[in-house]
Structure 1
Amino acid sequence: MTKKRISYFMDNDIGGFYYGQHHPMKPHRLSMTHNLMLAYGLYRKMEVYKPRRASPDELRQFHAADYIDFLQRVTPDNCQEFSKQLTKFNVGRSGGDCPLFDGLFEFCQLYTAGSIDGARKLMAGSSDIAVNWAGGLHHAKKSEASGFCYTNDIVLAILELLKFYPRVLYIDIDVHHGDGVEEAFYVTDRVMTVSFHKFGDMFFPGTGDVWDKGSGAGEYYAVNFPLKDGIDDDNYERVFQPIIQKVMEMFQPSAVVLQCGADSLANDRLGCFNLTIKGHGKCVQFVKSFNIPTLVLGGGGYNIRSVARCWVYETALLLDTAIDDTIPFNDYWQYFEPDHNLHFPKTDLDDQNSRDYIDKLKIKVMENLRCLNAAPSVQMQEMPPTYFVSEDEDERDPDKRVRPSQKDAEGEFYDHDRDNGMNSTI
């Protein structure tokens, strides 16, 4: 089998952004992930790129112009001037889940550009798989921040892919429903969204019932598999593989976007599933086996030690590279005490997903998929080669390999339990 060409987007400074002391979202987890990547030497097997900043015009390809203008101008120092907009756009509200912090717009530009340029690498044919662990912020809406997400890099990347590929499949294994992505493509048959998530009125975002299946031209192109607490590796595999197999047969995607939210792992601060890293990684490995151009993104994950372990392991899977269970020495050595192991066992949490419950859901989802007549086709036109060069890259070679440094932003140790009032998450 031919080795996959993998593009990897990383920025050593992105971990320095800070949502706030008691906020469960810690961009610092990205610094830990990148540093483990260096420690294992995985960067030597990939083309590594430092993300640029997405331009406001690029962000407006999906988001409302007034919303992007607001994000561009508002800061913690001048927020009093934007009191009405703070409420309108769900940013910086007291007790809200999307705080206003220093460098917010730059943070959005960086994580979004990695996903857009990853899509462009696939479109240009220079990569088979593109990885942007900083991306995957799937809750952001057209004119509103939601669930720790401000700009929806996934939607913007898919819109980019649709300029070249007839059909794009979006798969979401975050513990939370990928509502922002589903909503953006709810009435089109060119994007199929598939989400496996915890569902319930008291669990954010409260959407993603099995009956939510798209509308109009997009009917049956939204696939939701609502799960209960405690699902483990075996049950998740029993759900994931047959559904994705059927989706591939019916939809025949030209490209795949895979959101790998790590809050579906055991011991997550806000999650309620019981997956191990190996169980989570099996989903990545299964999607990879179809040999379709794939954009791999991050997402949720609030036990930062687990997040770093998971995404490094899944990068190794994408590279077909075995890595040792003993974590090599790195800048965050103390975080992985006491055993410094990559893998950890599941907990004793009860799996509330009975065989009968899962089988009935699978039957319903399969029935919906059988309602698809055939993979939709669309009239495409050839894109000029210059299209694939980013606007901000005319003074540097877009294919120049960037050698990552060992320098990382300093962080804190986060070992406390679930924060009160922080239920809406990636």
Structure 2
Amino acid sequence: MHVCLELNYSSFHVAGDAGSVYFGPNHPMKPHRLCMTHHLVLSYDLHKKMEIYRPHKAYPVELAQFHSTDYVEFLHRITPDTQHLFSDELAKYNLGEDCPVFDNLFEFCQIYAGGTIDAACRLNNHLCDIAINWAGGLHHAKKCEASGFCYINDLVLGILELLKCHSRVLYIDIDVHHGDGVEEAFYFTDRVMTVSFHKYGDMFFPGTGDAKEKEKGIETYQPGAIVLQCGADSLAGDRLGCFNLSIDGHAECVRFVKKFNLPLLVTGGGGYTKENVARCWAVETGVLLDTELPNEIPENDYIKYFGPDFSLKIPNGHIENLNSKSYLSTIKMQVLENLRCIQHAPSVQMQEVPPDFYIPDFNEDLQNPDERIDQHTQDKHIQRDDEYYEGDNDNDHQTDL
């Protein structure tokens, strides 16, 4: 361990391969934002203050701890070349326009899910106090189907891992969309409390998460660990989001949660203006390391995408604030009433802690060594020729929303 923040050791999970997948032309999800984030973290020398860890690829049996076996098997075998043969299954598992079938889909799921599972395991084993996996946070995926660009719900898998050692886990979601997949997974247990800050409306995906809703059986909490989903589509100027948060405001949420001094698993999530996502997650990596980053972005392989001012912080958007004081007061009162009606931290009968999930003792990365691409080469990959569709210049969209 190399980070020393007074008994505060951080683990950074690098999923380099996840940044190279391509959802298809005109699809708003651009995993390449992960490469941009990684290079910003490197350019600010944040990697020198924490342990960098390349996670394993989650095995199908691990994914099936939450997802149905038939769904996992289908994701494993479906390819762009064969999907025309499985129209019924595609409809059953909700694969299509929002959740397309693309090359290396299952490997992509294995990588980001493996990162979150490993992060939880490291927290459980006291190898770090804070674990970061910006590739994770795909909170919409359900037990038997994909949803909202999400295929495997890594957050649920990570929480299940944390529950092996912690009586209660608090899940906090600051994505602009409701964390419905995680809430649904733990709706009937009092061992997980889900708190989601999002836009609610019948016409806004996923159409759930009214402030009047509250989980059954969830009680006032004394969590043993926290999972924080930092979806950056709540930033001003996001392509799909409609909130007006500055990066400082978004990062303040991370700073607030960190002050609880509990084992903390931090993931990414949504975010569709790529350079702003990278800016945000780099700043929040700094927050987790108690490191203030200079506003001028250092030279890196993606520097041209941060022009013309090459600054880390972005100005607030120009969206009119329609939240009246009375409306905000009503929401606050409603939330406080929900909390008042729940009892003190529920007791949990803990048994012997189960071992970390069984992982085969072979390294599948070494199965075809002649076909492997040097990992450093993959991580240095800047952009694929078809990554951007016509008119996709995020710098031109900063004030569109």
* Partner Cα separation in structure 2 for residue 129 and residue 404 of structure 1: 25
Is the alpha carbon distance of 1:323 and 1:393 closer, same or farther for their aligned partners in structure 2, counting shifts above 3 Å? farther
CA contact (8 A) 1:124 1:388 kept: no
Which residue of 2 is the match for residue 192 of structure 1? Answer: 193
CA contact (8 A) 1:15 1:409 kept: no
Which residue of 2 is the match for residue 359 of structure 1? Answer: 329
Residue 347 of structure 1 and its aligned partner are, at CA, apart by 1.5
* Partner Cα separation in structure 2 for residue 381 and residue 127 of structure 1: 23
SS of the residue corresponding to residue 15 of structure 2 reads coil
Q: Say whether residues 1:322 and 2:292 are aligned partners.
A: yes
CA contact (8 A) 1:254 1:292 kept: yes
Which residue of 1 is the match for residue 369 of structure 2? Answer: none
Q: Say whether residues 1:282 and 2:252 are aligned partners.
A: yes
Which residue of 2 is the match for residue 27 of structure 1? Answer: 31
Is the alpha carbon distance of 1:271 and 1:331 closer, same or farther for their aligned partners in structure 2, counting shifts above 3 Å? same
C-alpha root-mean-square deviation of aligned residues, in Å? Answer: 1.9
Residue 393 of structure 1 and its aligned partner are, at CA, apart by 6.1
State how 1:377-392 maps to structure 2 within 5 Å: 377-383=347-353, 387-388=355-356, 391-392=359-360
Residue 373 of structure 1 and its aligned partner are, at CA, apart by 1.5
SS of the residue corresponding to residue 69 of structure 1 reads helix
Q: Say whether residues 1:110 and 2:111 are aligned partners.
A: yes
Residue 409 of structure 1 and its aligned partner are, at CA, apart by 4.5
Q: Which stretch of structure 1 is more off in the superposition, 368-377 or 290-299?
A: 368-377
CA contact (8 A) 1:12 1:408 kept: no
SS of the residue corresponding to residue 131 of structure 1 reads strand
Q: 1:106-148 deviations in whole A, cap 9, x for unaligned?
A: 0000000000110001100111000000000000000010000
Which residue of 2 is the match for residue 82 of structure 1? Answer: 86
* Partner Cα separation in structure 1 for residue 168 and residue 178 of structure 2: 21
The residue type paired with residue 97 of structure 1 is D
The residue type paired with residue 99 of structure 1 is P
* Partner Cα separation in structure 1 for residue 358 and residue 234 of structure 2: 34
Q: Say whether residues 1:294 and 2:264 are aligned partners.
A: yes
* Partner Cα separation in structure 2 for residue 351 and residue 267 of structure 1: 14
* Partner Cα separation in structure 2 for residue 394 and residue 151 of structure 1: 23
Aligned mate of 2:73, from 69, 74, 78: 69
**Percent of aligned pairs with the same residue?**
58
Residue 355 of structure 1 and its aligned partner are, at CA, apart by 1.3
* Partner Cα separation in structure 2 for residue 379 and residue 18 of structure 1: 45
Which residue of 2 is the match for residue 203 of structure 1? Answer: 204
Q: 1:163-220 deviations in whole A, cap 9, x for unaligned?
A: 11000000000000000000011111110000010011110000000121123x34xx
Which residue of 1 is the match for residue 380 of structure 2? Answer: 407
The residue type paired with residue 56 of structure 2 is R
Is the alpha carbon distance of 1:160 and 1:364 closer, same or farther for their aligned partners in structure 2, counting shifts above 3 Å? same
* Partner Cα separation in structure 1 for residue 376 and residue 224 of structure 2: 31
Q: 1:346-379 deviations in whole A, cap 9, x for unaligned?
A: 0221111111111111111111111121101111
Residue 278 of structure 1 and its aligned partner are, at CA, apart by 0.5
Structure number with higher relative contact order (C-alpha < 8 Å, ≥ 6 residues apart): 1
* Partner Cα separation in structure 2 for residue 308 and residue 191 of structure 1: 29
CA contact (8 A) 2:15 2:112 kept: no
SS of the residue corresponding to residue 198 of structure 1 reads coil
Which residue of 1 is the match for residue 306 of structure 2? Answer: 336
* Partner Cα separation in structure 2 for residue 135 and residue 99 of structure 1: 18
* Partner Cα separation in structure 2 for residue 390 and residue 26 of structure 1: 32
TM-score by length of 2: 0.90
* Partner Cα separation in structure 1 for residue 293 and residue 338 of structure 2: 40
SS of the residue corresponding to residue 192 of structure 1 reads strand
* Partner Cα separation in structure 1 for residue 224 and residue 167 of structure 2: 6
SS of the residue corresponding to residue 295 of structure 1 reads strand
The residue type paired with residue 142 of structure 1 is K
CA contact (8 A) 2:12 2:53 kept: yes
* Partner Cα separation in structure 1 for residue 135 and residue 179 of structure 2: 16
The residue type paired with residue 21 of structure 2 is F
CA contact (8 A) 1:285 1:318 kept: yes
Is the alpha carbon distance of 1:146 and 1:77 closer, same or farther for their aligned partners in structure 2, counting shifts above 3 Å? same
* Partner Cα separation in structure 1 for residue 181 and residue 117 of structure 2: 17
State how 1:156-235 maps to structure 2 within 5 Å: 156-215=157-216, 217-218=217-218
Residue 160 of structure 1 and its aligned partner are, at CA, apart by 0.9
Which residue of 2 is the match for residue 258 of structure 1? Answer: 228
Is the alpha carbon distance of 1:212 and 1:404 closer, same or farther for their aligned partners in structure 2, counting shifts above 3 Å? farther
Which residue of 2 is the match for residue 400 of structure 1? Answer: none
CA contact (8 A) 2:15 2:115 kept: no
